[in-house]
């Protein structure tokens, strides 16, 4: 993925929903031009990673840049967390240069149904409780948009984008494995809440996380292929 998104010094990159900067710090060898994030606490942490040349506190509806400013915009698992999505996409379209690329990952309409608890409740034919749990799941993770492929396409086309590539990934079983492993991230979740960082000590984290890493690697390696994905990848242009 690094080579796929390798950065040229002549291009301007914008990561929307940059969070605390950990993603860009790990993925890219060079600093990204701009990170946009509405949470000031996350921006403060992102500054410490030094993964961005510039950080902007914004929900994405208004970015203080000229038209066609960015060659590449990247929104990884971000758009589903935005209540009023269309103004943000309109702004992304305004800022994307001719020939530029917009990389997006978003959940399908089935994503929030493939959690461990939802599947158990559905198996027990407790459909009402399963639906209530789904609402809790989305509220907890602040997710507002789960759509079919054609619905996501309409949203992007209405904003002016042209879709040039589409893929699915994250199979049903992988989605369930990820959900199963979430409770084991309780300690990092607490440190994130209290200290605004996922990792206190890399050495301690290696010891704590290693058994779960082995489990996840074995399960994901076994069930990687053969099922439709629950996350969509779109590559678009202006």
What phi and psi, each to the nearest 5 degrees, are found at residue 14? Answer: -130, 120
Q: Which of 48, 67, 46, 69 is nearest to 57 (CA)?
A: 46
For tokens 């608890």, the residue is 117
The confidence score (pLDDT) of residue 157 equals: 97
Mean pLDDT of 5-29: 74
Q: Give residue limits of the domains in the chain.
A: 13-237
Mean pLDDT of 115-142: 96
- Given a contact cutoff of 8 angstroms between Cβ atoms, the answer to whether 231 and 174 are in contact is no
Count of CB atoms situated within 10 Å of the CB of 99: 9
What phi and psi, each to the nearest 5 degrees, are found at residue 83? Answer: -60, -55
- Given a contact cutoff of 8 angstroms between Cβ atoms, the answer to whether 122 and 172 are in contact is no
What phi and psi, each to the nearest 5 degrees, are found at residue 115? Answer: -110, 155
Count of CB atoms situated within 10 Å of the CB of 86: 12
In this structure, of 28-32, 197-201, 211-215, the range with the lowest mean pLDDT score is 197-201
Count of CB atoms situated within 10 Å of the CB of 222: 10
The yes-or-no verdict on residue 226 having pLDDT over 60 is: no
What span, in angstroms and rounded, lies between the C-alpha atoms of 172 and 96? Answer: 33
Q: Which of 53, 92, 89 is nearest to 69 (CA)?
A: 92
The yes-or-no verdict on residue 99 having pLDDT over 80 is: yes
The confidence score (pLDDT) of residue 72 equals: 93
The confidence score (pLDDT) of residue 111 equals: 94
End-to-end CA distance of the chain: 23
Q: Which CATH number applies to 13-237: 3.40.50.150, 3.40.50.1370, 3.40.50.11540, 3.40.50.300? A: 3.40.50.150
């Amino acid at each position: 993925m690094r080579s796929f998104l390798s950065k040229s010094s002549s291009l301007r990159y914008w990561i929307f929903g940059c969070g605390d900067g950990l993603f860009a710090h790990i993925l890219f060898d060079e600093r990204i031009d701009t990170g946009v994030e509405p949470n000031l606490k996350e921006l403060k942490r992102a500054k410490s990673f030094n993964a961005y040349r510039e950080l902007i506190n914004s929900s994405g509806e208004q970015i203080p840049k000229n038209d066609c400013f960015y060659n590449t915009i990247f929104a990884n698992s971000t758009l589903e967390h935005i209540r009023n999505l269309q103004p943000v996409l309109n702004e992304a379209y305004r800022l994307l240069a001719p020939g530029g690329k917009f990389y997006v990952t978003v959940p399908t309409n089935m994503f929030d149904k493939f959690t461990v608890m939802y599947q158990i409740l559905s198996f027990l034919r407790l459909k009402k409780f399963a639906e209530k749990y789904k609402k809790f799941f989305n509220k907890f993770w602040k997710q507002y948009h789960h759509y079919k492929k054609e619905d996501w396409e309409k949203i992007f086309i209405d904003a002016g984008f042209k879709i040039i590539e589409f893929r699915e990934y994250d199979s049903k079983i992988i989605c369930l494995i990820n959900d199963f492993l979430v409770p084991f991230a309780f300690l990092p979740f607490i440190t994130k809440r209290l200290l605004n960082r996922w990792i206190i000590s890399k050495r301690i984290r290696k010891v704590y996380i290693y058994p779960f890493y082995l489990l996840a690697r074995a399960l994901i390696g076994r069930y990687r292929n053969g099922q439709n994905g629950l996350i969509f990848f779109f590559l678009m242009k202006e």
